[in-house]
């Protein structure tokens, strides 16, 4: 029983990080209607910037994380304005360009840091034991910060004027524009927030597993699987899906092999999309 | 002779009854007006008749055949064609001629394979259809805009193009969904003349329209819908005296009553 | 009119004599690879014509490749039978998947094709007994043409293969051109622009989407088979998501929907890495940067970009009146 709970809890803590990734991705899709292949690279940059701040500038973990998120958010704004904005009318072009950005950032990182793994120093060492269950303190920190960020995001989206504007644009950009919402600004900030969440996930995972130039690819695939199954643009789905993925992965890596897991994941995607193309939590899309 | 018949069709969307037990008959070569306040369910009826939405109950018969539940393209091929209320349903990026040519395809007898190989039979058919399309443009008064992109047409001509696309599919019955929306009086008169011309070609027409003057002028009969129910039907002169109809209109301020010359207080339309 | 015919003849002669200009075997290799990518790009473009994005093109290529390779090795059938069979299998798989999935539109369709592609590649990877697992399949024979009793031509040389690929490219161009010019292409474009409108005038959307999808995948399979019998070796990594994306990039960079666009894109993408090779470590970064530049400044792709250059030049030389401009009401 204890083992099951332990595995479950481990899964949940990693799941929270998946939620951060997935939420960022689904937010960008919901508001801007674009698929951002470079999402994993912002995650990777978050990890690397945190590393630089802690190791090179000797700052505390939390300060470093904050700085990393801020830097990535600003970088995201630049990239959105220069690269994505002119192409927003053509989702196909956006897809390709996000791929190009992804390749560019990956190799830039590889050039700067090499292919090695970098471990971010732990914010808290040791293990917290409660009722026979082990909670590694690093993971507790990761979970705690994630929850804080999620709460902050919730407040932003549902309790601020900006959040309302975001939701309006996600629903119907034309009507929102007619009501005076500055679409371009919403796009900019939404993109920034989405990438910032990815960066946070990267920075938080750095101490637990290490960081390298290509860590983004695997992470973004998982995030995509989550939001596809859950429904593109669905916040609820991203949260539940992310947590579910974390738990499922935890169980399957402990008790089974991971080989057939991938195939099952993809087969599941096809099945779900045939039956309910909008995903498990998405709103019904109109069939042409 | 009854060409189109709806038998007690109903449709509800998530608890809202959009259309309730609607029945009507359309006689060959007549122009029937389907009128009623906004949101009364008129476009939904068009969707139900043409297979774009599935009926919850009831049947649709066309030309003596039960077409209930058939796919839209099959119903269109049978000769029941509809146009759309919004001008977003045009082939943007294509010229006016190409727009109309798109509808000609149902009449291509040559097979896929012969077209792939490029047999002369296929090329011949292409030429014939092209000529037919040009004739249609002449008929609709669009010939001079043959190579203009649909995007660059003024609104009124875009609406005419929408009708042309439907007409190019050689329908027996044409369902026009608000063909005059957004037109100025001059354009509306042109459209009215056009609708009459189409009828004189032997095509039956059912028209949803809000412009009362045009409706009174051109329709042989009217069917009035409110809240998904048919509340009245008959000749325009009869319908406009009907108390239920008057009440339905009085309740909605945006209605122009300029066509209803009775002792009603004048309510002007805000446009 | 006459000018266009001369241009076509000139291009034909050029293509037929191109190997003479190739400095070494590697240059010829590049030509062959470009040719295969041209077929892939044109066939993907066909699927694009109906407004659908397929991310399974690499996998379909793989199905054709593996089928043809396995048939030639295990059944010992002549390669010129195996290759079309591989193509047909890909087309058939496309047809079946299409039946299930083509009613889904837009991004969701793309996602399903992505998932399908991943499953296919995973199958290639894990079903070792049949597909050879991560090691793939080796010793794939070259195509040979046996004229009964008389002579035997083997297409093992690069030169011979070049002409084989050229022939395939011509066939692909022919089919695509016929599609585009006939009512088939028109119906597909109607569906892509407004499926609802197309249905309202009697176009059977499913039929055309299925047709384009199946034929597109058939050619992908053919390209894969040709690749297999050229390299004499295939592995699962050759047909992954990366491959599918590569083909998509080729089409988009070249110019979606046109005939020349995918051709330009495929050639451009094949030769670009060669030019960047000197940059070594910076190669991928510059590659990505060039992609971004092209998309930013030539949103219609290379073909669109070249077209605007041509138009600007034309306008410069003749002050002609604008045709088909906005109507003044």
Residue C328's pLDDT is what?
Answer: 40
ipTM confidence? 0.84
- Which helix (DSSP H) or strand (DSSP E) does residue B205 occupy? strand B204-208
Collapse the DSSP code of B60 into the 3-class scheme (helix H, G, I; strand E, B; otherwise coil) and give the result.
strand
Whether residue B257 sits in one domain with residue B208 = yes
In which domain, by residue range, is B239 found?
1-79+171-271
> Considering B117, B136, B158, which residue would you say is the last residue of a domain?
B158
Suggest the residue from C170, C174, C197, C202 to mutate for an interface test with chain B (most B CBs closer than 10 A): C202
Domain definitions of chain C by residue range? 26-240
Domain CATH for B228: 3.40.50.300
Residue B167's pLDDT is what?
Answer: 93
Contact C211 B153 (CB under 8 A): no
**Cα separations in angstroms, C254 against A288, B121, B132, C42, C257:** 28, 33, 35, 10, 10
When CB atoms are compared, the residue of A83, A100, A273 closest to C108 is A273
Residue A101's pLDDT is what?
Answer: 93
- Residues from chain A contacting residue C265 (CB–CB below 8 Å): none
Out of A177-186, A196-205, B55-64, C76-85, least confident range: A177-186
Go through chain A and tell me how many residues it has.
Answer: 288
Give per-residue pLDDT as tens, B48-99: 999 999 999 999 999 999 999 899 999 999 999 999 988 889 999 899 999 9
- Chains B and C form CB pairs within 8 A to the count of 111
Whether residue B69 sits in one domain with residue B14 = yes
Residue A228's pLDDT is what?
Answer: 83
End-to-end CA distance of chain B: 40
Contact B102 C187 (CB under 8 A): yes
Instruction: State the SS3 of B114-180.
Output: HHHHCCHHHHHHHHHHHHHHHHHHHHHCCHHHCCCEHHHCCHHHHHHHHHHHHHHCCCCEEEEECCC
Give C 120-179 residues with CB within 8 A of chain B. 175, 178-179
Label residue C250 by pLDDT band (50, 70, 90): very high
Hey, which chains touch C, using 3+ CB pairs under 8 Å?
A: A, B
Contact B105 C182 (CB under 8 A): no
Q: Whose structure tokens read 């050759």?
A: C238
Which residues have C-beta within 8 Å of that of residue C176, sequence separation ≥ 6? C42, C43, C45, C46, C259
Contact B52 C189 (CB under 8 A): no
Residue A262's pLDDT is what?
Answer: 66
**Cα separations in angstroms, B227 against B42, B51, B248, B249:** 10, 21, 10, 12
Go through chain C and tell me how many residues it has.
Answer: 329
Contact C252 A92 (CB under 8 A): yes
- Residues from chain C contacting residue A103 (CB–CB below 8 Å): 284-285, 287-288
Contact B169 C201 (CB under 8 A): yes
Strand partners, C234: C137
Give per-residue pLDDT as tens, B214-248: 998 999 999 999 888 998 899 998 888 888 887 77
Contact C252 A101 (CB under 8 A): no
Give per-residue pLDDT as tens, C22-52: 888 888 999 999 999 999 999 999 999 998 9
Give per-residue pLDDT as tens, C85-103: 999 999 999 999 999 888 8
Suggest the residue from A107, A110, A227 to mutate for an interface test with chain C (most C CBs closer than 10 A): A107
Q: B209: exposed, middle or buried (C-beta count within 10 Å: 0-12, 13-18, 19+)?
A: buried
> Does residue B265 surpass a pLDDT of 60?
no
Q: In whole numbers, what is the pLDDT of chain A averaged over residues?
A: 85
Whether residue B127 sits in one domain with residue B246 = no
DSSP assignment letter at B75: H
- Residues from chain C contacting residue B167 (CB–CB below 8 Å): none
Q: C210: exposed, middle or buried (C-beta count within 10 Å: 0-12, 13-18, 19+)?
A: middle
Domain A2-275 CATH (choose: 1.20.1300, 1.10.3470, 2.20.25, 3.30.70): 1.10.3470
Tell me how far apart the alpha carbons of residues B248 and B36 are, in angstroms, rounded to a whole number.
8
- Residues from chain C contacting residue A288 (CB–CB below 8 Å): 105, 195-196, 199, 205
Whether residue B218 sits in one domain with residue B129 = no
Whether residue B139 sits in one domain with residue B185 = no
Tell me how far apart the alpha carbons of residues B65 and B47 are, in angstroms, rounded to a whole number.
18
Interface residues of A toward C, Cβ cutoff 8 Å, are 35, 83, 86-87, 90-93, 95-97, 99-104, 106-108, 111, 228, 232, 259-260, 262-263, 266-267, 269-270, 273-274, 277-278, 285, 287-288
Residue C1's pLDDT is what?
Answer: 58
> For the residues A270-278, what does the mean pLDDT come to?
76
Tell me how far apart the alpha carbons of residues A196 and A73 are, in angstroms, rounded to a whole number.
5
* Rg of chain C, C-alpha, whole Å: 21
Out of A85-94, C129-138, C313-322, least confident range: C313-322
- Which helix (DSSP H) or strand (DSSP E) does residue B27 occupy? strand B16-27
- Residues from chain C contacting residue B164 (CB–CB below 8 Å): none
> Does residue B266 surpass a pLDDT of 70?
no
Tell me how far apart the alpha carbons of residues A41 and A72 are, in angstroms, rounded to a whole number.
10
CA distance to partner chain B, nearest, from residue C323 (Å): 9
Residue B192's pLDDT is what?
Answer: 93
CA distance to partner chain C, nearest, from residue A12 (Å): 26
> For the residues B168-172, what does the mean pLDDT come to?
92
Label residue B251 by pLDDT band (50, 70, 90): low
> For the residues B30-36, what does the mean pLDDT come to?
93
Tell me how far apart the alpha carbons of residues C190 and B92 are, in angstroms, rounded to a whole number.
10
Residue of C nearest to A100 (CA): C288
**Cα separations in angstroms, A59 against A75, A122, C24:** 21, 12, 57
B184-201 burial code (b ≥16 CB/10 A, e <16): eeebbebbbebbeebbee
Tally of structural domains, chain B: 2
Whether residue B28 sits in one domain with residue B116 = no
Strand partners, C144: C154
Tell me how far apart the alpha carbons of residues C171 and C176 are, in angstroms, rounded to a whole number.
9
Whether residue B175 sits in one domain with residue B151 = no
Give the dihedral sign, CA A52/A57/A61/A65.
negative
A179-188 long-range contacts (CB < 8 A, ≥24 apart) are: A184/A85, A186/A31, A186/A162, A187/A31, A187/A32, A187/A80, A187/A85, A187/A88, A188/A77, A188/A80, A188/A81
Question: Which one has a higher pLDDT value, C126 or C106?
Answer: C126
Domain definitions of chain A by residue range? 2-275
pTM over 0.80: yes
Is residue B231 a contact partner of residue B40, using CB atoms and an 8 Å limit? no
Contact A86 C103 (CB under 8 A): no
- Residues from chain B contacting residue C196 (CB–CB below 8 Å): 52, 84, 89
CA distance to partner chain C, nearest, from residue A142 (Å): 31
Q: Any contact of A with C, at least 3 CB pairs below 8 A?
A: yes
Residue B26's pLDDT is what?
Answer: 94
Question: Which one has a higher pLDDT value, B122 or C111?
Answer: C111
Whether residue B176 sits in one domain with residue B100 = no
When CB atoms are compared, the residue of B117, B147, B149 closest to C178 is B117
Rounded percentage of chain B residues whose pLDDT exceeds 90: 59
Contact C281 A111 (CB under 8 A): yes
Give the dihedral sign, CA A233/A237/A243/A245.
negative
Label residue A172 by pLDDT band (50, 70, 90): confident
> For the residues A246-265, what does the mean pLDDT come to?
72
């Amino acid at each position: 029983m204890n083992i099951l709970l332990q595995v479950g809890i481990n899964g949940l803590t990693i799941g929270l990080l998946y939620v951060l990734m997935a939420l960022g991705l689904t937010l960008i899709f919901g508001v801007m209607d674009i698929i951002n292949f470079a999402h994993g690279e912002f995650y990777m940059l978050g990890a690397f910037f945190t590393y630089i701040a802690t190791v090179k500038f000797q700052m505390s973990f939390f300060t470093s994380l904050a700085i990393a998120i801020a830097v990535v958010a600003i970088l995201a704004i630049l990239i959105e304005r220069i690269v994505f904005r002119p192409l927003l009318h053509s989702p196909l072009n956006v897809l390709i360009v996000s791929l190009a950005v992804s390749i560019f950032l990956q190799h830039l990182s590889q050039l700067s840091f090499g292919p090695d793994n970098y471990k971010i120093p732990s914010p808290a060492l040791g293990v917290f034991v409660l009722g026979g269950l082990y909670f590694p303190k690093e993971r507790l920190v990761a979970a705690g910060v994630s929850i804080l960020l999620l709460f902050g995001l919730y407040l932003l989206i549902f309790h601020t004027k900006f959040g309302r504007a975001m939701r309006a644009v996600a629903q119907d950009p034309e009507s929102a524009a007619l009501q005076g919402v500055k679409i371009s600004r919403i796009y900019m900030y939404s993109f920034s927030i989405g990438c910032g969440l990815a960066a946070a996930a990267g920075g938080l995972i750095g101490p637990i597993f290490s960081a390298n130039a290509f860590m983004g690819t695997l992470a973004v695939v998982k995030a995509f699987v989550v939001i596809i199954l859950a429904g593109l643009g669905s916040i609820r789905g991203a949260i539940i899906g992310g947590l579910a993925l974390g738990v499922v992965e935890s169980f399957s890596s402990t008790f089974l092999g991971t080989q057939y897991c991938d195939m099952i994941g993809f087969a599941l995607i096809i099945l779900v999309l045939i039956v309910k193309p909008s995903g498990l939590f998405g709103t019904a899309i109109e069939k042409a | 002779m009854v060409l189109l018949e709806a038998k007690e069709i109903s449709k509800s969307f998530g608890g809202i009854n959009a259309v309730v037990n609607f029945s009507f008959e359309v006689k060959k070569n007549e122009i029937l007006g389907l009128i009623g306040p906004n949101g009364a369910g008129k476009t939904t009826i068009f969707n139900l008749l043409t297979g774009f939405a599935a009926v919850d109950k009831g049947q649709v018969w066309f030309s003596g055949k039960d077409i209930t539940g058939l796919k839209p393209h099959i119903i269109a091929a049978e000769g029941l064609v509809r146009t759309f209320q919004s001008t977003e349903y045009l082939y943007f990026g294509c010229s006016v001629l190409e727009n109309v040519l798109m509808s000609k395809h149902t009449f291509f007898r040559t097979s896929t394979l012969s077209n792939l190989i490029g047999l002369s039979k296929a090329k011949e058919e292409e030429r014939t259809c092209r000529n037919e399309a040009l004739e249609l443009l002449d008929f609709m008064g669009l010939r001079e805009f043959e190579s203009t992109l649909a995007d660059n047409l003024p609104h009124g001509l875009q609406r005419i193009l929408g009708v042309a696309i439907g007409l190019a599919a050689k329908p027996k019955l044409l369902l026009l969904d608000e063909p005059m929306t957004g037109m100025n009086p001059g354009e509306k008169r042109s459209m009215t003349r056009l609708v009459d011309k189409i009828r004189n070609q032997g095509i039956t027409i059912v028209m949803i329209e809000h412009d009362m003057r045009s409706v009174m002028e051109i329709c042989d009969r009217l069917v009035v819908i409110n809240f998904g129910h048919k509340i009245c039907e008959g000749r325009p002169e009869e319908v406009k005296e009907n108390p239920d109809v008057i009440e339905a209109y009085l309740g909605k301020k945006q209605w122009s009553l300029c066509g209803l010359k009775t002792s009603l207080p004048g309510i002007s339309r805000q446009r | 009119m006459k000018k266009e015919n001369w241009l076509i003849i000139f291009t034909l002669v050029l293509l037929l004599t191109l190997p003479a200009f190739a400095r070494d075997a590697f240059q010829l290799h590049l030509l062959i690879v470009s040719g295969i990518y041209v077929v892939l790009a044109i066939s993907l473009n066909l699927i694009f014509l109906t407004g659908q994005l397929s991310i399974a093109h690499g996998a379909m290529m793989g199905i054709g490749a593996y089928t043809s390779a396995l048939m030639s090795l295990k059944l010992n059938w002549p390669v010129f039978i195996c290759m079309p069979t591989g193509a047909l299998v890909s087309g058939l798989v496309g047809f079946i998947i299409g039946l299930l999935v083509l009613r889904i539109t837009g991004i969701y369709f793309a996602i399903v094709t992505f998932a399908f592609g991943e499953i296919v590649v995973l199958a290639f990877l894990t079903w070792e007994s049949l597909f050879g697992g991560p090691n793939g399949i080796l010793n794939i024979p070259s195509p040979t043409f046996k004229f009964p009793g008389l002579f035997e031509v083997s297409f093992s040389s690069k030169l011979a293969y070049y002409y084989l690929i050229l022939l395939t490219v011509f066939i692909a161009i022919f089919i695509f051109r016929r599609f585009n010019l006939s009512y088939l292409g028109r119906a597909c474009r109607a569906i892509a622009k407004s499926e609802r409108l197309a249905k309202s005038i009697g176009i059977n959307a499913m039929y055309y989407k299925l047709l384009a999808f199946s034929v597109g995948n058939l050619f992908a399979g053919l390209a894969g088979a040709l690749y297999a019998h050229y390299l004499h070796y295939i592995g699962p990594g050759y047909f992954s998501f990366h491959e599918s994306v590569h083909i998509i990039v080729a089409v988009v960079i070249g110019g979606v929907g046109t005939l020349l666009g995918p051709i330009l894109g495929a050639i451009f993408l094949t030769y670009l890495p060669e030019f960047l090779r000197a940059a070594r470590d910076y190669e991928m970064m510059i590659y990505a940067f060039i992609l971004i530049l092209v998309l930013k400044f030539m949103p219609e792709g290379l073909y669109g970009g070249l077209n605007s250059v041509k138009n600007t030049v034309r306008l410069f030389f003749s002050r002609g009146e604008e045709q088909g401009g906005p109507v003044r009401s």
